Amino acid sequence: MSEKKNIPPDGIALPEKNKANHNDELLLLNKKLSQQIEERKKRAAELVIANIELAYQNKEKEQRAAELVIANAELAFQNKEREKRAAELVIANTELAFQNQEKEKRAAELVIANTELVFQNQEKEKRAAELVIANAELTFQNQEKEKRANELALTNNELEAFTYISSHHLQEPLRKIQVFTDRISTDEHQNLTLKGKYYFERIEVAASHMQGLINDLLTYSRTSVNEKKFENCSINDIINKVIEDLSEEIILKKAIIEVSGNCSAYVIPSQFHQLICNLINNSLKFSKQGEIPHITIESLYTKQTTKNLPSSSDYCHIIISDNGIGFDQQFESRVFEMFQQLHSRTDYKGTGIGLAIVKKIVENHKGIITATGRLNQGAKFDIYIPVVS
């Protein structure tokens, strides 16, 4: 095999020495090139590792970026929430400030109220002390009233007994006056002058009035002195008996009497007869001139309707009303007083004791009686009697 010789590119043959130098340079260049290739391989391997590391880091960065996006979104949400909380806190602080002001006002008011309360307590203590004194005074006055009431009851009993006895004694001289006036009227009347006859008639009227007064006083006295025997009676039976007893006067006046209802109650028959008789007589006496008297009597059961009656009892309510001349309501409290006459004695005869007797009988039955009326429009009497005595 022929040896291959190095020939320069330009085709000019080089000397041997130059060839050797050229080969050394070439080897050196090859060596450098090999080294550079090795270095490049190392750099390429390192670059591959760096690229892998960079790719990993990029993935890590992407993850961090994604997490940062989420964190930023969460942070933005938290910031909004904080802003809301801050706004709410501002409102809450404003409300708290207002409440504190209100509390301060209330505290100031409480101080004033406590001061007022202390003052009121002091006033109450004063009033309590005054009340103790007033109660002691009231107790003393009640004791005095009880003494006076006992004395008054004793005096009334003595007065009623005196009236009863006196009336009996008065009847004897009155009977003599009536006997002698009757004899004068029979035997000597024609001998009297006109003036004498007028005086004589006045004596007879006065004696008659005196007789009526004594009889009424005796009746009033008997309502307290007589023994009180209660019986269960029909009120209508008593009313019908009174109407029968007064039939002549009723017929004379052409009066109309209407009776309705039918109560029964424990009453003193004789006294209740007197009560109804006096009230009907009162309606007949004070009837209007030229008008037929119209009297209505109603009885019905009822419960307590006024504070003056015990609430535990049943009552018989008796209503007697008429169409007579009536009376002015301002005199309501006087109609039941002794010797009280609201109308002229010359026009309406009477002693002024009839309604006092009525009230006394009602009180004996532990009841009450009231009167209402208007002038020329009639009168009404309401009587409440316990059903059981």
Contact by Cβ (8 Å): 196, 215: no
- 179 vs 56, higher pLDDT: 56
pLDDT band at 382 (very low <50, low <70, confident <90, very high): very high
189-226 residue pLDDT tens:
788 888 888 888 888 777 776 776 676 666 666 665 55
Q: Where are the domains of the chain?
A: 229-386
**What's residue 206's pLDDT?**
78
Per-residue pLDDT band at 353 (split at 50, 70, 90) = confident
Q: At the topology level of CATH, where does 229-386 sit? A: Heat Shock Protein 90 (3.30.565)
Encode pLDDT of 247-290 as tens digits: 998 999 899 999 998 889 999 888 899 899 989 998 998 888 88
pLDDT band with cut points at 50, 70 and 90 for residue 1? very low
227: which DSSP letter?
Answer: -
Instruction: List all residues 6 or more positions away from 314 whose beta carbon is below 8 Å from its beta carbon.
Output: 301, 302, 303, 386, 387, 388
Q: In a 3-state reduction of DSSP, which class is residue 233?
A: strand
> What is the total residue count of the chain?
389
Q: In percent, how much of the chain has pLDDT > 90?
A: 32
Residue 302, CA distances (Å) to 137, 276, 299, 314 in order: 40, 20, 10, 6
pLDDT category of residue 3 using cuts at 50, 70 and 90? very low
- pLDDT tens digits, one per residue of 137-177: 989 999 988 888 887 777 666 666 666 666 666 667 777 78
Please check the confidence at residue 339 and state whether its pLDDT lies above 70: no
**For the chain, how big is the Rg over CA atoms in Å?**
66
Which residue, 331, 333, 304, is CA-closest to 317? Answer: 304
The whole-number average pLDDT for the span 5-9 is 51
Please check the confidence at residue 344 and state whether its pLDDT lies above 50. no
| pLDDT score, position 77 | 93
pTM for the structure as a whole: 0.50
Q: What percent of the chain has pLDDT over 70?
A: 78
20: pLDDT strictly greater than 90: no
pLDDT of residue 173: 78
The confidence band for 4, taking pLDDT boundaries of 50, 70 and 90, is: very low
3-state SS assignment for residue 59: helix
Select the more confidently predicted residue: 365 or 5: 365
Average of per-residue pLDDT values in the chain: 82
Residue 83 has what pLDDT? 92
What's the average model confidence in pLDDT over 15-22? 71
pLDDT computed for residue 288 by the predictor: 87
Q: Which residues face 370 on adjacent strands?
A: 382
Residue with the bigger pLDDT between 25 and 340: it is: 25
Lowest mean pLDDT among 81-85, 105-109, 226-230, 323-327: 226-230
